[in-house]
Structure 1
Amino acid sequence: MAIPTSTNQVVESLEQYDDVLSWINDTLAPDYTDNLPEVIDLSEIDHQITQLLTTLDIASEDTSMELERIVDDVSRGIPRLTYDLHFMKDGASTLQNALLGVLQRSKDAVPKETSDALDNLHHLDAIKGRMEAAREVLREAESWSTLEHEVTSLIQEKTYAKAAERLSEASRSMVIFQNTPEYDPRRTLMVNLQNQLEAALSTALVSAINAQDSASCREYFAIFSIIQRESEFRNYYYGSRRSAVVSLWQTAFLLDCDRLPGAANDGATQTFAEFLPKFYANFTTVLGIERISITAIFPDPISTLSQFISTTITALQPTVPQRLASYATYHGEAALVHLISALQATEEFASSIEKIMEKLRYLAPASMPSTQISISSADKPQIHRRRSSRMSISLRLNQHRISSTIGSNNAPIAPADGIEWDQELFQPFLNFQTDYGSLERRLLDYSLLNIISSDTKDKVAMSDKPRLFRERAVDIFGLAEASIRRCKSFTCGYGSVGLLQALDGFFQSFIDMWTADVQTESFNQSSLDKASASDNELSDLDYTPQDWSTIQLSLHLLSSARAVSDRLNAFEAKLRAYFCQVAAQFRLSLTDPSNFPMASSKGESQLLEQSTLNSAELHSLLSTVENEGTSREPPFSASLRLQPPTPVSTPEPLLVDAKKALSLFAQTCQTSTSKTILSPLHNHLIEYASSPSWRSTSDPTSALSSSDLRVPTFSLSHSDIIQRVAEGLLNLPRLFEVYADDDALAFSLDTLPHIGAELLHSLSEYGHEIPTQPSHRRRSSVFMKPSIIDPEVVSSAWLTSLGHTFLEYFTSDVLPAIPSLSIAGAAQLASDLEYLSNIIRALNVEHDGLEKWKIYASMDTEEGKKVVNENKFDTLDPVLARVAKMRGWQ
């Protein structure tokens, strides 16, 4: 298109576009839309832009001028508008006056006689209406004088329907006597007559109910409804029809419910687990029959059947909660397993009831029973009872209670959704479900006691403890996996918090027992294997055969702990997956509760949702686990297998206390190993503190010649004891070369004495990840597979730990036991410490306490007294204070 040359064309072309850039492109290059030339003439485009700018300027000026003209026209028209409004107001007033005049003239046109006649007719009509109303009142009042006689006669004649209709008419006239002295006596009379009619009908009603005469029951129901006694009819019906079910429950004497544990049989022949399915089967049979009977009698079969179930359950004696409590008490620690069986039987019963309810929901309105009542009388017309209004059935939990309109009275009945029976059925289990965590822990502890009872009966040799630890772990984790299934069956996932706490405490208790067993077990020579593969290779070391056996046992226990740790991590992954499944089910239930209920029954789901199990702690746990699972698992893709795994942060551990207990077990084994390895060194130092060299009075730095001249001597050499200790320390690397291939040494390195995560990372020469002990806040795995840790790092960590442990013992227990130091003794001690310090450095160990003892022991008397005098004695370094006491500086 060509560039517009007029302002109208510019405005029209702009209105055709929503985007200014598109308009500019189409305006400047209209001929290049289909075939863009390779070379565009820039001078031509510049000319077009100039032309377009000029056109836009002109269009802008024209638009401004047009806008000013319109504003001027509006400004001149506003005063004229006020005048027009005033003119319209005057015209309206003139029209109103004209209409009033026309109305007055129309009235004057009617003669006065005609107007008076019309007024008289209106007055007479009002009088007639009031007289008719007064006549009706007088008739109603007159009928009350004969009401008692008429109703009594009808009852004696067994024409109950007529008596009910007569009472209904009298009841409608009660409003006439409202707020008058006659109301209370007449109300009392009405109630008495209704009671007489009910008493007269009760015997026939019970007979009809027992005979399952639906037609008679339907007539009696209509009569009871007319006299406002529908609830009494339902009580008669429910009481009669549930008698067989209630009797079956009451006459049953159960082994594990109706007597204490250990008591005599007392005639009990079956258990509660055997009786409950039979009871539910009998109840289901009764409900199947009642589905047909109730449909033929009541206008609201679903609500009626729901009420029947609820009233039957509440009428059971002893009550269901009482029997469940006795049942749980009888089975004690294993009560949870038996309660789950009872709950599952109840859920199956609820499912069968749902099927019966479903059949009632599909019942066509045409098949509902007629509520017409025929009165056997030759001279009386048929009296009809108004059909009960039936509302649509909704499954929403907050559905309002519906009413059955009978005559002019509305009698409330049960909710149409039938949810009351469901809650009544599962309410007895709720207290046990909310206490699931405690029940689960008691069951786990009871099962653990049964497992380890054989170990206590048959004394197991200490050398077999590592194998037994692995075997018992298999049993323990089998129990733990069963607990996940119990949580799902008994609480539908709502007990996840209690499950986690029970499992964590259960694992901790199991591992703590083994830790205590290792700590208290004496590694006597008879309980350990004396043979060792290291005897020939390290025969020159100062270890006894029992020492070698103890080391081997500790390593085997560490290896078992590593196996248990792997199982614990695998189980924690299963537990995390279960929690993710529960979280997904919660989310589906929240969005679509009808199709994805948490439990098998809506009533059970609602009870669990409203219980204390549905806590903020539960939602926090599920949200945390689900978020961690989402961050760790990317969406599935076929190309993921070709891509390297993306490093992610390790999730927060779930079984915190169990992993701490396992870490403590590993630390106990490591401490035992360290104690055994260092035992020869400790034996060398037994007499070190009581060495006579500490009290020597000779000057170690000079000797007297025959001319009494002091001749300088060479520095003292270290003592024999320190020499043997040094040789033992230098032999430690050889020991770990033999055990370098043992993966047990690499397990839980961070629990080694005097070793932490920072020191482990500093010891790593190749930058491998080192396992660390987790805390509640830090995200890191508890243990790492030892195969990825360099053996040199493992050896360095153990040597560092052993060096620090030995020096801690040497500086804390051995050196402070030296009673006193002479000048010569101090020089000898300084020489020993210097030599020992060099040996320790060769093992890449530095110890501040050893350095302090070396420095303070090397001071002469003047320097030592000066340092002591410059500081108060109570603020002195503990090592300096002890050396000062030995040297007598203070």
Structure 2
Amino acid sequence: MAVRIVEMPLLVPTMTVASSSNTQALDTLSEYDDVISWINDTLPTSEDREQDTVELSELDQHITQLLASLDISSEDTSSQLERTVRDVSRAVPRLTYDLHFMKDGALTLQNGLVRVRSRAKAAVPLSTQEALNKLHFLDTIKNHMELAREVLREAESWSTLEIEVTSLLSDHNYAKAAARLSEASRSMVVFQNTPEYDPRRALMVNLQNQLEASLSSALVAAINVHDLAACKSYFSIFSDIQREHEFRNYYNGSCRAEVVALWQNAQLLDCDGEGTLTFVEFLPKFYEQFLSLLNLERASMSFIFPDPAVSLSALTSSVLSALQPTFSQRLTSLLSHYGDSVLKTLISLFKMTEDFAAAAEKVTEKIKHSAISIETSESPTSPPLAHKRRRSMRMSMSWRNTPTRSPSTTQNITKLCNLLEWEQELFQPFLDFQVEYASLERRFLDDNLRHITKNDSVRDDADPDGARLLRERAVDVFGAAEEGVTRCVSFTHGYGAMGLVQALDGFFKSFVDMQTNDLRKTSSSSFSTPTSTEEGLSGLDYTPQDWAEFQHYLHLLSSARSVFERLLSFENKLRASLIQVSTTLRLSREDPTISSSNRSQLLSQSTLHSPDLHTLLESRPTDPLLVEARAAVYLFARTCQECLQHTILSPLMKPLSGYASLPLWSAPGDGKSQRVNELQVPSFSLSPSETVQRVADNLLNLPQLFEVYVDDDALSFSLHTLPHIDEPEIPLEPQPVYVGHARRQSISRPLAQGPSPELVSSAWLSSLSRTLLTHLTKEVLPRILTLSQVGSAQLSSDLGYLSNIVRAINIEFDDLERWRTCIDSEDGGAIRDTISSDQRRESYVAVMHQSPWKTVIFKAKLNLLPVLVNGHHGGNR
């Protein structure tokens, strides 16, 4: 059964109708702060009985009796409250009368006191009053004279101060000398703002210096032999003469001597250029001895100093400040020794330093708690509790709220942070390198990349295309990148996340760009312009070399897809790491106790903690992180696609290599009619030239090639980078893809939901056809030197036939139609005249590229073509 408890205070009167046990339970209700605890302690538990469990029926009976008792008590309380309210209601009207009566009595008493006082003054004789005034005056003079006597005594003691202190020092009675100087120091206030102050102040300092000089050698000897009693006595003496700081300097200087000597005498191979030890090998030994010193002094300082925790912190800072060469200087030496790979060494040193700081913090915590225990034992004991409540975790009917942190706890945390100020000096040398983390990480990654790719020129005979090598290199590259996330968290606690993303983005881009450049270099030699003398390429009968190149570029494109998939997977891991970093930093901002060390405070106050970092950590999960890397992969894929298309189109482009030099372009005669018996007989339906027929047949045979390879994942990758592709033709759901710093809509989508085979085939056929037609209109047709009427008719027929073939495969190409329209125009003769003139041929070619055809004809008529486009397409003379 469920029992709902309403937490409200109850007034429990004396019970008249209830069992004796319930009466006793109700009597104890006033001793509890809340009803929940009272109920939990009143109900029987297994601890109150010999049985392990409590019967449900018995528990229900107890609850029923308790509810009945509470109901009766509530009714009695209500009745008493009503009677009390009724009595108060009757008494309130009379209260105003009582107050008025008391006011009148007070006024009467005041008037009577005034009259009595005036009568008392009149009763005292004048002579008596004068005597009393004189006595008061004499008492005041006496007090002033006593104060002046004390001052004169203090002043008189200064005349013998130097003799007394010198005598005590000669007798080695340092404690009395310190006490005498302490008394004299307290009397210095007497001479404040008088000419005597400066001479006496100088005398005081001189005597204190003599006492300190006399004690220094004995103090150092006592510290060296760990004579704690003598050290404590000397500390009291130094405190009496306001030289406590000098005592700490003597103490810390003697304690740190051995540790500092270990640092200074070390000859490090990577810092000093001498010795056999490296800094990474030496630093653990140094920290080990340093920590031994702190553990040793923990007990000693608790006996000598009243503030052992602060004193231990001061000793730690003293050791760090006395190191020569400094920590920063040795870290800088590492940079020149290790070069680009210095980050790994810095992270190892930083980790060692963090481990030492954690161990030193534990020592400080121990000595701090020891001091608190001593103070607690000396303070009065707290009074015992009036009532010891019985707590039972079983049958608990509510959860207690966690108490809020009290102000004293916050003060203790602040004091602890002040005690650990030595951490700032310990980690400050690393801060300069942490701020430059992005540069260090990029240099480290680039150094790894050089080692990974140094043997790229050596190809495996079993894999001449290098695709397998690219995949293997990618494994090493992504392995190095994953280690970068660990380095960032270890070295910057996540504050260098922005620099990590930038370094990784540039690192991947450099790797992929190297592959792209190598591909362009290796493919440039095979991209020589084909000649018409080559045979064996009729139809789509590729040579073994063509098939080898086809497989080569197809495998590289497949490797590009594999690299891109790895890149997306790595981005997911990187995003998860950034989420963890964001959570940690947010918690540290909300609760400073999570990160109270100065090493985190140094990073949070550095330039690493920038608005760009918050923008990165708060970015949407759909935003890409490695923007430049993605663009580089797409560029590599486009290069592979261009090379692959060059191989596929080679049977189509080779026949076009001699198309512009065919003799039929300059053949004499009228291509539109024939003369028969002096009559003009038109000619119809010129057949396309053999070259165009061959190109068109090969173009129609291209789909057969993709029937075999259309299911290959390589062809479906990065369709939006295909040359001359018209993205609206591909009905894919767009996905944001970042190229450079601008966002563009791409036809690509998650690789797990790739495009259909029909779409892949259509995209590649469209790209191939447009590439071929672009080559025809931009490279082949402008090289035609002369064009007669017969040649014009043949060219128009060729272009018309090719246009029909292109439309048959659902391709629209405006430039091809413009060429055909120009050739078929009524003013084509003006263009032919322009073509036949050698000095105007260059102008014709340029205008064909840049101007609308109406403008071409108009300019031809005005004979202004050479003026408008002078200097264009000089290579086509």
TM-score normalised by the shorter chain: which range applies? 0.7 to 0.9
Question: How do residues 511-550 of structure 1 correspond to structure 2 at under 5 angstroms?
Answer: 511-522=512-523, 540-550=539-549
Equivalent in 331, 339, 347 of residue 332 of structure 1 = 339
User: Distance between the aligned counterparts of 1:165 and 1:514, measured in 2?
Assistant: 84
Map of 1:687 onto structure 2: 658
Question: How do residues 306-345 of structure 1 correspond to structure 2 at under 5 angstroms?
Answer: 306-345=313-352
Alignment of 1:292 onto 2:304: no
Alignment of 1:817 onto 2:783: yes
Map of 2:17 onto structure 1: none
Alignment of 1:677 onto 2:651: no
Aligned pair in 2 of structure 1 residues 801, 705: CA closer, same or farther (>3 Å)? Answer: same
User: Distance between the aligned counterparts of 2:205 and 2:233, measured in 1?
Assistant: 21
The code of the aligned residue for 1:207 comes to: A
Aligned pair in 2 of structure 1 residues 198, 164: CA closer, same or farther (>3 Å)? Answer: same
The code of the aligned residue for 1:662 comes to: V
Map of 2:283 onto structure 1: 276
Shift of 1:367: 4.7
Shift of 1:591: 2.8
Map of 2:507 onto structure 1: 506
Shift of 1:622: 0.9
Map of 2:702 onto structure 1: 732
Map of 1:235 onto structure 2: 249
CA displacement 1:657-695 (0-9 Å, x = unmatched): 000000000000001111222222222122222233333
User: Distance between the aligned counterparts of 2:257 and 2:103, measured in 1?
Assistant: 85
Equivalent in 762, 775, 790 of residue 756 of structure 2 = 790
Map of 2:728 onto structure 1: 758
Aligned partners of 1:819 and 1:886 also within 8 Å: no
Aligned pair in 2 of structure 1 residues 782, 830: CA closer, same or farther (>3 Å)? Answer: closer
Map of 2:851 onto structure 1: 877
CA displacement 1:166-207 (0-9 Å, x = unmatched): 111111111111111111111111111111111111111111
Map of 1:450 onto structure 2: 451
Shift of 1:727: 1.3
Give the stretch that moved more between structures: 186-195 or 854-863: 854-863
SS of corresponding position for 1:454? coil
SS of corresponding position for 2:785? coil
User: Distance between the aligned counterparts of 2:849 and 2:769, measured in 1?
Assistant: 29
Aligned pair in 2 of structure 1 residues 167, 463: CA closer, same or farther (>3 Å)? Answer: same
Map of 1:17 onto structure 2: none
Map of 1:190 onto structure 2: 204
Map of 2:636 onto structure 1: 665
SS of corresponding position for 2:456? helix
User: Distance between the aligned counterparts of 1:862 and 1:417, measured in 2?
Assistant: 93
Aligned pair in 2 of structure 1 residues 723, 889: CA closer, same or farther (>3 Å)? Answer: farther
SS of corresponding position for 2:504? helix
Question: How do residues 40-51 of structure 1 correspond to structure 2 at under 5 angstroms?
Answer: none
Aligned partners of 1:394 and 1:417 also within 8 Å: no
Aligned partners of 2:671 and 2:792 also within 8 Å: no
Aligned pair in 2 of structure 1 residues 782, 729: CA closer, same or farther (>3 Å)? Answer: closer
Aligned pair in 2 of structure 1 residues 160, 460: CA closer, same or farther (>3 Å)? Answer: farther
Aligned partners of 2:706 and 2:761 also within 8 Å: yes
Aligned partners of 1:438 and 1:502 also within 8 Å: yes
CA displacement 1:212-246 (0-9 Å, x = unmatched): 11111101101111111000000000000100000
Shift of 1:568: 0.8
User: Distance between the aligned counterparts of 1:244 and 1:593, measured in 2?
Assistant: 37
Aligned partners of 1:743 and 1:787 also within 8 Å: no
Shift of 1:572: 0.6
Aligned pair in 2 of structure 1 residues 223, 876: CA closer, same or farther (>3 Å)? Answer: closer
The code of the aligned residue for 1:515 comes to: T
Alignment of 1:200 onto 2:199: no
Map of 1:585 onto structure 2: 584
Aligned pair count reads 716
The code of the aligned residue for 2:310 comes to: S
CA displacement 1:58-77 (0-9 Å, x = unmatched): xxxxxxxxxxxxxxxxxxxx
Aligned pair in 2 of structure 1 residues 774, 140: CA closer, same or farther (>3 Å)? Answer: closer
Aligned partners of 1:434 and 1:612 also within 8 Å: yes
Give the stretch that moved more between structures: 781-790 or 510-519: 781-790
Normalising by structure 2, we get a TM-score of 0.76
Percent identity of the aligned residues?
54
Map of 1:564 onto structure 2: 563
Alignment of 1:804 onto 2:818: no
User: Distance between the aligned counterparts of 2:444 and 2:377, measured in 1?
Assistant: 57
Aligned partners of 1:757 and 1:772 also within 8 Å: no
SS of corresponding position for 1:317? coil
CA displacement 1:405-439 (0-9 Å, x = unmatched): xxxxxxxxxx7742212222111111111111111
User: Distance between the aligned counterparts of 2:512 and 2:320, measured in 1?
Assistant: 46
Give the stretch that moved more between structures: 805-814 or 682-691: 682-691
SS of corresponding position for 1:710? strand
Aligned pair in 2 of structure 1 residues 725, 453: CA closer, same or farther (>3 Å)? Answer: same
Aligned partners of 1:296 and 1:369 also within 8 Å: no
Shift of 1:539: 7.8
Aligned pair in 2 of structure 1 residues 498, 887: CA closer, same or farther (>3 Å)? Answer: same
User: Distance between the aligned counterparts of 1:607 and 1:133, measured in 2?
Assistant: 56
Alignment of 1:714 onto 2:680: no
User: Distance between the aligned counterparts of 2:568 and 2:125, measured in 1?
Assistant: 110
Map of 1:837 onto structure 2: 803
Shift of 1:95: 9.5
Map of 2:387 onto structure 1: none
Unmatched 5+ residue regions in structure 2?
1-101, 379-406, 528-534, 835-846, 865-877
SS of corresponding position for 1:743? coil
The code of the aligned residue for 2:190 comes to: I
SS of corresponding position for 1:690? coil
User: Distance between the aligned counterparts of 2:812 and 2:683, measured in 1?
Assistant: 31
Map of 2:77 onto structure 1: none
SS of corresponding position for 1:703? strand
SS of corresponding position for 2:269? coil
Map of 1:553 onto structure 2: 552
Alignment of 1:855 onto 2:816: no
Aligned partners of 2:539 and 2:651 also within 8 Å: no
Aligned partners of 1:299 and 1:369 also within 8 Å: no
SS of corresponding position for 1:820? coil
Map of 1:141 onto structure 2: 155
Aligned partners of 2:291 and 2:359 also within 8 Å: yes
Alignment of 1:214 onto 2:228: yes
Aligned partners of 2:720 and 2:748 also within 8 Å: no
Map of 1:484 onto structure 2: 485
Equivalent in 600, 607, 610 of residue 612 of structure 1 = 607
Shift of 1:154: 0.9
Aligned partners of 1:309 and 1:421 also within 8 Å: yes
Aligned pair in 2 of structure 1 residues 795, 275: CA closer, same or farther (>3 Å)? Answer: same
Shift of 1:449: 0.7
Shift of 1:463: 2.5
Aligned pair in 2 of structure 1 residues 302, 484: CA closer, same or farther (>3 Å)? Answer: same
User: Distance between the aligned counterparts of 1:770 and 1:779, measured in 2?
Assistant: 6
User: Distance between the aligned counterparts of 1:681 and 1:581, measured in 2?
Assistant: 56
Normalising by structure 1, we get a TM-score of 0.75
SS of corresponding position for 2:681? strand
SS of corresponding position for 1:665? helix
Shift of 1:499: 0.8
The code of the aligned residue for 2:644 comes to: T
User: Distance between the aligned counterparts of 1:779 and 1:209, measured in 2?
Assistant: 76
The code of the aligned residue for 2:179 comes to: E
RMSD: 3.4
Shift of 1:542: 5.0
User: Distance between the aligned counterparts of 1:507 and 1:454, measured in 2?
Assistant: 18
Aligned pair in 2 of structure 1 residues 758, 772: CA closer, same or farther (>3 Å)? Answer: farther
Map of 1:531 onto structure 2: none
Map of 1:303 onto structure 2: 310
SS of corresponding position for 1:681? helix
Aligned partners of 1:671 and 1:752 also within 8 Å: yes
Aligned partners of 2:778 and 2:849 also within 8 Å: no
